[in-house]
Structure 1
Amino acid sequence: MMVTAITQGIKISVDTTYEEGYSDSANEHFMFAYRIEIQNLADFSIRLMRRKWVIFDSNGTQREVDGEGVVGEQPIINPGESYNYVSGCNLKTEIGSMKGHYQMLRLSDETLFNVDIPEFQLIAPYKLN
Protein backbone atom coordinates (compact mmCIF):
# COMPACT_ATOMS: atom_id res chain seq x y z
CA MET A 1 0.00 0.00 0.00
CA MET A 2 1.47 3.32 -1.07
CA VAL A 3 1.60 6.27 1.33
CA THR A 4 2.31 9.88 0.41
CA ALA A 5 3.03 13.22 2.08
CA ILE A 6 3.71 16.72 0.75
CA THR A 7 5.96 19.20 2.59
CA GLN A 8 6.69 22.62 1.08
CA GLY A 9 5.81 21.38 -2.40
CA ILE A 10 7.91 18.21 -2.20
CA LYS A 11 5.85 15.01 -2.52
CA ILE A 12 7.19 11.78 -1.03
CA SER A 13 5.55 8.48 -2.06
CA VAL A 14 6.55 5.15 -0.51
CA ASP A 15 5.70 1.61 -1.59
CA THR A 16 6.98 -1.48 0.24
CA THR A 17 7.48 -5.17 -0.48
CA TYR A 18 8.38 -8.10 1.75
CA GLU A 19 11.50 -9.88 0.49
CA GLU A 20 10.76 -13.50 1.41
CA GLY A 21 13.82 -14.83 -0.43
CA TYR A 22 16.12 -12.68 1.75
CA SER A 23 14.30 -13.41 5.01
CA ASP A 24 14.93 -16.15 7.54
CA SER A 25 12.17 -16.40 10.16
CA ALA A 26 14.05 -19.09 12.14
CA ASN A 27 16.80 -16.54 12.79
CA GLU A 28 14.51 -13.53 13.31
CA HIS A 29 15.58 -11.89 10.05
CA PHE A 30 12.79 -10.27 8.02
CA MET A 31 13.82 -8.22 4.98
CA PHE A 32 11.72 -5.50 3.39
CA ALA A 33 12.35 -3.31 0.35
CA TYR A 34 10.90 0.15 -0.07
CA ARG A 35 10.63 2.24 -3.21
CA ILE A 36 10.56 6.00 -2.78
CA GLU A 37 9.58 8.63 -5.30
CA ILE A 38 10.47 12.25 -4.54
CA GLN A 39 8.51 14.66 -6.75
CA ASN A 40 9.37 18.34 -6.85
CA LEU A 41 6.02 20.14 -7.19
CA ALA A 42 7.58 23.44 -6.07
CA ASP A 43 8.94 26.21 -8.28
CA PHE A 44 12.55 25.89 -7.06
CA SER A 45 15.34 23.33 -7.49
CA ILE A 46 16.41 21.23 -4.51
CA ARG A 47 19.25 18.94 -3.55
CA LEU A 48 18.69 16.03 -1.16
CA MET A 49 21.44 16.42 1.45
CA ARG A 50 20.62 14.00 4.30
CA ARG A 51 18.10 11.47 5.49
CA LYS A 52 17.00 10.40 8.94
CA TRP A 53 14.95 7.27 9.61
CA VAL A 54 13.20 6.08 12.75
CA ILE A 55 12.61 2.33 12.46
CA PHE A 56 10.17 0.55 14.75
CA ASP A 57 10.04 -3.21 15.27
CA SER A 58 6.97 -4.88 16.80
CA ASN A 59 9.18 -6.40 19.52
CA GLY A 60 9.38 -2.88 21.00
CA THR A 61 12.78 -1.85 19.68
CA GLN A 62 13.42 1.40 17.86
CA ARG A 63 16.51 2.49 15.99
CA GLU A 64 17.57 5.57 14.10
CA VAL A 65 19.57 5.81 10.89
CA ASP A 66 21.03 9.17 9.92
CA GLY A 67 23.37 9.96 7.07
CA GLU A 68 24.23 11.82 3.91
CA GLY A 69 22.10 11.41 0.80
CA VAL A 70 20.28 8.26 -0.25
CA VAL A 71 21.80 5.14 -1.84
CA GLY A 72 25.10 7.00 -2.11
CA GLU A 73 23.66 9.99 -3.97
CA GLN A 74 22.68 13.59 -3.24
CA PRO A 75 20.43 14.19 -6.24
CA ILE A 76 19.35 17.57 -7.55
CA ILE A 77 15.62 17.60 -8.37
CA ASN A 78 14.39 20.48 -10.53
CA PRO A 79 10.78 21.75 -10.58
CA GLY A 80 8.47 19.20 -12.20
CA GLU A 81 11.05 16.41 -11.94
CA SER A 82 11.16 13.34 -9.73
CA TYR A 83 13.81 11.04 -8.30
CA ASN A 84 13.25 7.35 -7.49
CA TYR A 85 15.28 4.89 -5.52
CA VAL A 86 14.92 1.50 -3.83
CA SER A 87 16.47 0.54 -0.50
CA GLY A 88 15.84 -2.00 2.21
CA CYS A 89 15.36 -2.58 5.91
CA ASN A 90 15.67 -5.68 8.04
CA LEU A 91 13.58 -6.32 11.14
CA LYS A 92 13.65 -8.98 13.83
CA THR A 93 9.86 -9.47 13.58
CA GLU A 94 7.33 -9.76 10.73
CA ILE A 95 5.78 -6.36 11.49
CA GLY A 96 7.28 -2.90 11.86
CA SER A 97 7.23 0.59 10.47
CA MET A 98 9.49 3.41 9.34
CA LYS A 99 9.22 7.17 9.17
CA GLY A 100 11.61 10.06 8.95
CA HIS A 101 12.63 13.10 6.97
CA TYR A 102 14.95 14.32 4.27
CA GLN A 103 17.02 17.46 4.67
CA MET A 104 16.76 19.41 1.42
CA LEU A 105 18.77 22.37 0.19
CA ARG A 106 16.89 25.01 -1.82
CA LEU A 107 19.50 25.83 -4.44
CA SER A 108 18.36 29.41 -5.16
CA ASP A 109 19.14 30.72 -1.66
CA GLU A 110 20.92 27.74 0.00
CA THR A 111 18.17 27.40 2.62
CA LEU A 112 17.98 24.01 4.36
CA PHE A 113 14.55 22.56 5.16
CA ASN A 114 13.11 19.20 6.20
CA VAL A 115 10.65 17.16 4.16
CA ASP A 116 8.57 14.55 6.00
CA ILE A 117 8.72 10.91 4.96
CA PRO A 118 5.29 9.55 5.92
CA GLU A 119 5.17 6.58 8.27
CA PHE A 120 4.77 3.33 6.38
CA GLN A 121 4.15 -0.22 7.55
CA LEU A 122 6.48 -3.17 6.98
CA ILE A 123 4.34 -6.31 7.22
CA ALA A 124 5.06 -9.82 5.98
CA PRO A 125 1.97 -10.66 3.82
CA TYR A 126 1.20 -13.90 5.67
CA LYS A 127 0.59 -11.85 8.85
CA LEU A 128 -2.42 -10.22 7.15
CA ASN A 129 -4.42 -13.46 6.93
Structure 2
Amino acid sequence: MLPADWIEHRRPDDREPVGWIRPDGDDWVAVSLLGRALTGPVDWAVAEEALEETGLSWMADAWMLERDDDEPLRVRLVEVTPDRVVVQTDDFGAIDAPVERFELPWPAPDGLRPRRDGDPDGWVVLAG
Protein backbone atom coordinates (compact mmCIF):
# COMPACT_ATOMS: atom_id res chain seq x y z
CA MET A 1 0.00 0.00 0.00
CA LEU A 2 1.25 3.45 -0.90
CA PRO A 3 2.23 5.45 2.21
CA ALA A 4 0.09 8.55 2.70
CA ASP A 5 3.10 10.89 2.96
CA TRP A 6 4.55 9.97 -0.46
CA ILE A 7 4.03 12.69 -3.04
CA GLU A 8 3.43 11.66 -6.64
CA HIS A 9 5.80 13.21 -9.17
CA ARG A 10 4.83 13.66 -12.81
CA ARG A 11 6.95 14.59 -15.81
CA PRO A 12 6.45 18.27 -16.57
CA ASP A 13 6.02 17.70 -20.34
CA ASP A 14 3.15 15.21 -20.40
CA ARG A 15 2.18 14.87 -16.72
CA GLU A 16 2.92 11.13 -16.82
CA PRO A 17 3.66 9.76 -13.30
CA VAL A 18 7.30 8.71 -12.91
CA GLY A 19 7.44 7.96 -9.19
CA TRP A 20 7.14 9.55 -5.79
CA ILE A 21 9.09 11.75 -3.46
CA ARG A 22 8.94 10.68 0.16
CA PRO A 23 10.04 12.57 3.25
CA ASP A 24 13.14 11.47 5.13
CA GLY A 25 13.65 13.77 8.11
CA ASP A 26 14.36 17.21 6.68
CA ASP A 27 15.25 15.69 3.30
CA TRP A 28 13.50 13.79 0.50
CA VAL A 29 14.01 10.46 -1.27
CA ALA A 30 13.07 9.81 -4.92
CA VAL A 31 11.16 6.53 -5.30
CA SER A 32 10.61 4.71 -8.61
CA LEU A 33 7.29 3.29 -9.78
CA LEU A 34 8.58 -0.09 -8.57
CA GLY A 35 8.69 1.35 -5.05
CA ARG A 36 12.48 1.39 -4.90
CA ALA A 37 14.57 4.29 -3.64
CA LEU A 38 16.46 6.02 -6.47
CA THR A 39 18.33 8.37 -4.17
CA GLY A 40 19.33 8.63 -0.57
CA PRO A 41 18.14 11.64 1.42
CA VAL A 42 18.54 14.71 -0.80
CA ASP A 43 16.89 18.08 -1.27
CA TRP A 44 13.59 18.29 -3.18
CA ALA A 45 15.10 19.53 -6.47
CA VAL A 46 17.61 16.67 -6.59
CA ALA A 47 14.81 14.13 -5.97
CA GLU A 48 12.74 15.64 -8.80
CA GLU A 49 15.74 15.60 -11.11
CA ALA A 50 16.46 11.94 -10.33
CA LEU A 51 12.89 10.95 -11.21
CA GLU A 52 12.86 12.97 -14.41
CA GLU A 53 16.25 11.61 -15.52
CA THR A 54 15.13 8.05 -14.83
CA GLY A 55 11.83 8.60 -16.64
CA LEU A 56 9.87 5.60 -17.88
CA SER A 57 12.19 4.11 -20.51
CA TRP A 58 13.37 1.43 -18.05
CA MET A 59 9.88 -0.07 -18.17
CA ALA A 60 10.49 -1.21 -21.77
CA ASP A 61 13.73 -2.97 -20.85
CA ALA A 62 14.15 -6.69 -20.33
CA TRP A 63 14.39 -7.66 -16.67
CA MET A 64 15.41 -10.81 -14.85
CA LEU A 65 13.21 -12.60 -12.34
CA GLU A 66 15.33 -14.55 -9.87
CA ARG A 67 13.72 -17.74 -8.63
CA ASP A 68 14.79 -19.87 -5.68
CA ASP A 69 14.06 -23.17 -7.38
CA ASP A 70 15.17 -22.51 -10.96
CA GLU A 71 17.25 -20.43 -13.35
CA PRO A 72 16.47 -16.72 -13.63
CA LEU A 73 13.84 -15.84 -16.23
CA ARG A 74 14.06 -13.03 -18.74
CA VAL A 75 10.82 -11.05 -18.30
CA ARG A 76 9.08 -7.85 -19.33
CA LEU A 77 7.05 -5.57 -17.10
CA VAL A 78 3.33 -5.76 -17.89
CA GLU A 79 1.77 -3.78 -15.04
CA VAL A 80 3.26 -1.68 -12.27
CA THR A 81 0.93 -0.19 -9.64
CA PRO A 82 1.12 0.34 -5.88
CA ASP A 83 -1.04 -2.80 -5.64
CA ARG A 84 1.14 -5.21 -7.61
CA VAL A 85 3.79 -5.76 -10.24
CA VAL A 86 3.00 -8.12 -13.10
CA VAL A 87 5.72 -9.51 -15.34
CA GLN A 88 5.65 -12.05 -18.14
CA THR A 89 8.29 -14.13 -19.81
CA ASP A 90 9.82 -12.25 -22.72
CA ASP A 91 8.04 -12.92 -25.99
CA PHE A 92 10.70 -11.06 -28.04
CA GLY A 93 7.92 -9.21 -29.85
CA ALA A 94 6.18 -12.31 -31.20
CA ILE A 95 2.43 -11.99 -30.81
CA ASP A 96 1.90 -15.76 -30.86
CA ALA A 97 4.67 -16.73 -28.41
CA PRO A 98 3.47 -18.52 -25.27
CA VAL A 99 4.16 -16.50 -22.14
CA GLU A 100 3.89 -17.11 -18.44
CA ARG A 101 2.79 -14.30 -16.13
CA PHE A 102 3.87 -13.73 -12.56
CA GLU A 103 2.16 -11.44 -10.07
CA LEU A 104 4.61 -9.93 -7.61
CA PRO A 105 4.03 -7.73 -4.59
CA TRP A 106 4.64 -4.00 -4.59
CA PRO A 107 7.19 -2.68 -3.87
CA ALA A 108 8.86 -5.06 -6.31
CA PRO A 109 11.01 -7.70 -4.62
CA ASP A 110 14.79 -7.70 -5.07
CA GLY A 111 14.42 -10.84 -7.20
CA LEU A 112 13.14 -8.62 -10.01
CA ARG A 113 16.22 -6.89 -11.33
CA PRO A 114 17.61 -5.29 -14.48
CA ARG A 115 19.58 -7.56 -16.82
CA ARG A 116 23.32 -7.76 -16.24
CA ASP A 117 26.18 -8.86 -18.46
CA GLY A 118 26.26 -12.64 -18.43
CA ASP A 119 22.49 -13.08 -18.00
CA PRO A 120 20.82 -15.36 -20.53
CA ASP A 121 19.89 -13.31 -23.56
CA GLY A 122 17.07 -15.54 -24.76
CA TRP A 123 18.53 -15.91 -28.21
CA VAL A 124 20.76 -18.94 -27.66
CA VAL A 125 18.75 -22.06 -28.42
CA LEU A 126 21.47 -24.68 -28.52
CA ALA A 127 24.96 -24.28 -27.18
CA GLY A 128 27.68 -26.69 -27.44
**TM-score, length of structure 1 as denominator length:** 0.27
TM-score for both structures, normalised by structure 2: 0.27
Of Structure 1 and Structure 2, which has the larger fraction of its residues in strand?
1
Q: Choose between structure 1 and 2 for higher RCO, CA contacts under 8 A separated by at least 6 residues.
A: 1
Q: Which has the larger radius of gyration?
A: 2
